[in-house]
């Protein structure tokens, strides 16, 4: 998980974002890398069917290079809406259901399996000729 404040310190309204990837083969309760790759294929198809074949997917999915890399899905969450902070509402939870609000990247439990609930959306210029950008916003993330 990264905060865009580290990437874009001049941005007054940062987001929380992370790239999700398949757990190693055999991880109990996890989606297999093969199923994960098929899931990414289907999500890309959904976005292309809804927004057109020229939709930008580079900030949505990343296809891995090399054997065994099933690709990644980027999910984000806006920390501000209409100039109002939602930091205290960050939907990150422990396995026991306790909310986590990391104060820094050092406090984010990287490398742990998660359950994530997200929705698909797009952004871009309202001009019909402009390219739309596919995105996924998480509304619940639980570290296991």
How do residues 26-39 score in pLDDT, each as one tens digit?
Answer: 888 888 888 999 99
> Could you tell me the CA-to-CA distances from 25 to 10, 50, 62, 66, 91 in Å, in that order?
40, 32, 19, 16, 27
**Between residues 111 and 1, which one has the greater pLDDT?**
111
Domain locations along the chain: 2-143
pTM (two decimals): 0.81
Q: Sign (positive/negative) of CA torsion 61, 76, 32, 46?
A: negative
Q: What is the pLDDT of residue 125?
A: 65
35 φ/ψ angles, rounded to the nearest 5 degrees? -65, -40
What is the average pLDDT score of the chain? 84
Closest CA to 142 of 96, 106, 107: 96
Beta strands in 70-123 (DSSP E): 72-78, 80-81, 84-85, 92-93, 114-123
Tell me which H or E stretch contains 41.
helix 33-51
Closest CA to 5 of 19, 23, 17, 21: 17
Fold classification of 2-143 (topology level):
OB fold (Dihydrolipoamide Acetyltransferase, E2P) (2.40.50)
Q: What is the pLDDT of residue 144?
A: 86
How do residues 89-137 score in pLDDT, each as one tens digit?
Answer: 999 999 999 999 988 888 888 888 899 999 998 877 666 666 788 899 9
């Amino acid at each position: 998980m990264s905060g865009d404040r580290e990437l874009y310190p001049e941005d007054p309204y940062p987001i929380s974002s992370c790239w999700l990837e398949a757990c190693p083969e055999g991880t109990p309760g996890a989606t297999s890398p093969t199923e994960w790759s098929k899931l990414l294929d289907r999500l890309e198809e959904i976005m292309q069917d809804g927004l057109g074949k020229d939709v930008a997917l580079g900030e949505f999915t990343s296809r891995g290079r090399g054997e065994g890399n099933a690709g990644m899905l980027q999910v984000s969450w806006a920390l501000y809406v209409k100039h109002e902070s939602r930091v205290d509402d960050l939907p990150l939870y422990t396995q026991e259901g306790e909310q986590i609000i990391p104060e820094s990247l050092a406090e984010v439990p990287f490398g742990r399996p998660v359950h994530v609930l997200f929705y698909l959306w797009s952004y871009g210029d309202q001009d019909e000729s402009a390219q739309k950008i596919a995105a996924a916003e998480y509304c619940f993330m639980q570290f296991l």
